[in-house]
Structure 1
Amino acid sequence: DSIVRSGKALYVGISSYDAEQTRQAVQILKQLGTPCLIHQPKYSIFVRWVEDKNNPMHKSLLDVLGEQGVGCIPFSPLAQGLLTNKYLNGIPADSRVGRGLSNGAITQENISPETINRISQLNDIAVKRGQSLAQMAIAWLMKDNRVTSVLVGASSVKQLDDNLAAMNNPAFTKNELLQIEQILAS
């Protein structure tokens, strides 16, 4: 609040708060007269805790954000590279994982045969949609109108262009969504 009042920031954003913590934080900030504009959770096809309603409020983080008028900008929408075609044929030697540079990111343990199989099946759906897996993963997040944008970590203009192209095909059929859920449940 003091940073906004001193003029060093216009709004407040929060990150990785659960649904109840978010509700409380937004309420406190409203009482102070400081708008909370955005919440930045880790969220992807593989990491979906923001949808969990298993709490005393029986509301997900996305529910709370929608009710409070707070935007959601997920980070790690590509699950640190897992939701790209990078790992379809195993771990590339030149990748962070291949070089042993996890830096808190994915590790070899995260890339099990089961995970590679899921990635491959998701990639098949993306290809049928005329998208890369990364594009489909971003479009999947953006299908929910409570998601304002996604935070991507592009390391080249080509990656940024590829990510932006996700919005060329943002709609999913019921069958595509069902297939994605079945893949994740397997």
Structure 2
Amino acid sequence: MARKRYSDEDILKLLREIELKLADGDDVRTACRGVGVSDATYYNWRRRFGGMGKSQLSELRSLEKENARLKKIVAELELDNCPVEIAEARYGYEVLEKSLIFSEGNAVEFRGGPGICSRYQMRAKATLSAGFSRAKEPVWSLNATSGHTNSLKVHRARQTVEDYVFVSGLELAPEDVVEIRTSCGGNAARAG
């Protein structure tokens, strides 16, 4: 027998019909046959939709949609946190450097933290979209000693260097190196 697909609204109507037949004294098997479904289907539907009205059904749908959206976000975050070797193979780049950047100078009253330098060499063609705040004004520049700025540089294989603050759809070629530097806060001195 071919399976018939029912919408959630149809399932609610059929469940109500079966419940009415049960209230009139029919047994489960007879009530289910009367609406054209098996008793196993009835029990599955009752487990999923039992006691639910149209308002709860729409709420269930919105929760399922939100759950799917959150699962997608979690999956994307897991991609961002994958080990370097997997990321290199997956995204077609090689991590050349990940290091802390310390500024030179004396300690100040409100010391900031070190910055980070990340350099990636493309293994294949790629497209870059990125943007940084604090690319022109230094971080924590409220006192006499200011921090540094964020920067994004593309070292082209043909030996040119391009600086960007915001970029969208920038074509990268194999052997191009992308360098990202996050700023040191107000004179972050090397510890110890």
Task: Calculate the TM-score normalised by the size of structure 1.
Answer: 0.21
Question: Could you say which structure has the higher helix fraction?
Answer: 1
Question: Could you say which structure has the higher strand fraction?
Answer: 2
Bigger CA radius of gyration: 2
